[in-house]
Amino acid sequence: MALISVKTILTSLCLFHITLAYFFYTNPNAIADQALVYVLGEAMGMPQTTSFAHPSGPSSFLAVALLLLGLSDLLTLSLPEEIWLIHYWGSQAPLRITLWAALSLYAYFSTPSYGRAGASRMSHPLVPPSSFVASAGGTGADGLRNRVFFTLAFLEFLSWFWVWVTLKEEVVRFNARKRRRGSSSNGGFR
């Protein structure tokens, strides 16, 4: 039995997305300076980024996307329980686990190993490589190779895995409760 219900986890995750949207819109540096971002970034050898030093177009776009995601996910919880529990989140949770796991693995494995203190993959990044600096030759993928994005993707992966595990338990309980109600409404006749 889960200590926290899936509805509570999903509500918290939606409010987390809305809170992140606020900070990405008003002060993205507050997110980049968080201890969790620093610790995960240092532990995984991810480079720092200066892209979140002040609000910009991409951070505003990210804020709007997170706000819409948080509000739409929060809205699904107002649907009847069978619809959101079994049909909607039953397919969304595994999809989001896969997506965020792939993005966090991409952010980790696509980070170049040069510019590090040693030859090891886990060695500390001294400075961000020149490919991380916005230039005419850079690609959009360069913005995904930093500790802020890695931390977001990794925490989303962990959160959605927690949702999925709890969701499976609650679906079993919901179906058992539905079968009990169905058998008691028949008056014992079969």
- SS3 letters for 94-118? HHHHHHHHHHHHHHHHCCCCCCECC
| DSSP 8-state symbol, 46 | P
- Residue burial 113-127, b: 16+ Cβ < 10 Å; e: rest: eebbeeeeeeeebee
The mean-pLDDT minimum among 58-62, 99-103, 114-118, 144-148 falls in: 114-118
| Res 118: pLDDT | 55
Of 156, 153, 157, residue with least CA distance to 46 = 153
125 three-state secondary structure? strand
Tell me the CB-side half-sphere exposure of residue 62, using CA atoms within 13 A.
21
pLDDT per residue over 3-49, tens digit each? 899 999 999 999 999 999 999 999 999 999 999 999 998 888 888 88
Of 170, 23, 15, residue with least CA distance to 85 = 170
Beta bridge partners of 125: 116
Q: What is the pTM of this model?
A: 0.81
pLDDT per residue over 98-138, tens digit each? 999 999 999 888 876 544 555 555 555 544 544 444 444 56
Q: How many CB atoms lie within 10 A of CB 11?
A: 14
